[in-house]
Structure 1
Amino acid sequence: MQQHETIVTSLAKRGEQLAAKRAAAQDTLDRAITGRQQTLLSGDLGDQRALDKLQANVDAAASALAGIDDALVILAHQKTEAERQLGAERERIERASAADKLHKQVVAIEAALPGYLAQSKALADALSDVSHFHFESGQMAGFLQNTGSQIEIAANFTLAELKAMPDAIRQGRQPIPREVATAPVPLPEPASPTMTAFMLRSARYCDPDGRRRFAGQWEDATMPVATAQRALGKGIAAPLTDPRRAQLRGARGGDFDPKAPDVVDLDAVAEPPTAPKIEPDTVLREANFTVIDRSAEARTIEIEVPRT
């Protein structure tokens, strides 16, 4: 096979070299045609010697290009034939390897069969010895005897076919046995992180698979981490360590209405708006007032109250 590979590589390299020469020959022909054309259009038509020389240049360049084209055609046929021979040699080697492997497998089967039949017969005989008082042993003995007879008959046909297959594989009359491709076991996708919280209000939310879920008031609910944190931040749920959980968990006894108007949609709840920043008055800011602490000063205030 190495010889065929060397031939294919050599022909491919030769093809690259001829392709480069063809490009150069085409360029030479184009220049020769251009020179002849320019002379015919604007040169001395009476100078026959010069015209003959230009025509000879064109003829020589065209002949050289045609010769290279012929060589490329022949080379392509040679390369195709060499590749065919290389493929045939590879198939021959593959078939020989497959035939040898099958031959060894058939030899192993043929060697194991007599021992299996002998052991089956010995087991059937041992079971038959106790079958007169043990029904199940008799059933097993009958099964072994029947199975052994069927296997012995089938082996005569099977081994004959198996023994003929290696030669058929070598000669191309039998497909090459292929190994059974085992399908890769898909790895389970990692579960999305979740968090359990104690619900202070009934709520709806979407689980990681996009399905709508309901969490009842005063019950534990497992939900996506982002949803649980949103519920905790809104006061809709509390951590499992909240003391109210020990007192209120399950207090409603499953009496829930998922369609009730007070059920909160955790996926639609909005963040609380932030209060706008109030800038101080410009006049007050420029006045630069100073705060004086007078809390320690003693003060007496008299209030006149009319008496009736």
Structure 2
Amino acid sequence: MKHKTQDYKISAVKYYLQNDVSLDEVCDIFVCKKSSLRRWIMKYKAYKHIERLNRSSKSYKITKDQVKYAIRLLKQNEQITMTELKKLILDKYPSFDITSQHLGKVLRDNNKTRKRTKHQHFPVTRYGVEVNKENELNKFYNEVSKYPIDKIICLDETSIQPAMMLEYSRCQLGHKCVVNTDDNYVFKKFTLLVAINNSGCVGSKLYQQGGMTKERFVDFLEEHIFSKYKDNLIILDNAGSHNNQFVKDAILNSGNKYLFSIPYTPTTNAPIENYFNQIKHYLKLNKKVLKFNELNDEIKNAIKMVRKENYKNYFNNAYNKEGLRQYTRKLSTRYRKPKTYKTT
């Protein structure tokens, strides 16, 4: 028998109370069970209504104190596994009786999500001298702020391989996603040196043999920058091929200035780092093992795919944040309202 609506139940109760009829007669008229009608009448006489009193949902397998303790342990060690976390909770609460998988779901219900770990390193001392990261960042950005955004050039080198592949694939459930190669050329590595500004690629060069040297670096600067740009700030990496007197003198003699990014802080040279990520993404779309000339052509094609808007955004996000529209983070659509847990 279908559930009756609120109005339907009240109509049946009032009909019984206002007329000299039996329960059976009312049930025949309103098509309901005698036991249900009796229950409606008793509830109406007691409370003057027959609304359902819905009980608020509450978790009964884990207590509020156990949840708080689990979250506190997670804050102390964010890399703890659910198995280890369960053991620690059991040491304090012997009655704790849920699986590790269920514990993971409880934490997710409290908006503690599993994600890839990011490693950040910044030494306390450098060459035996104490360093302060905040002071170095302030000094760096104060120097950058002296130059218009279109007078800044970022350059760096990165390693390129003949066969670069996306880290994730899709294939049949239960099978591994494998990309097979049979050419040992896949193990070779080349050095790509690129310079960019907020309007485009200033210059790029792929080196087939050897890594970066100060002589190669200055040759690149002379070919792509010195003859075309003056009074620019050139932001460099702290690699030995960059940070040396030979390179410094060459830049100053060209009518430009230099500034080295802060060690262990890639955000200070973020435009070129983000640029490399975009370029390599395009290169990973090609699954073939490319020879040097083919790879060089693919790099040129990848560079052409970068839009002017990308260059502009890279530099604005790194060095012109005050000029950007302030971003207010909205509450995530994956946010869950915490559940109610029993107290004991």
TM-score, structure 2 length as denominator?
0.17
Q: Larger strand proportion, structure 1 or 2?
A: 2
Q: Larger helix proportion, structure 1 or 2?
A: 1
TM-score, structure 1 length as denominator?
0.18
> Who wins on radius of gyration, i.e. which is larger?
1
Which one has more relative contact order, counting CA pairs under 8 Å at least 6 apart?
A: 2
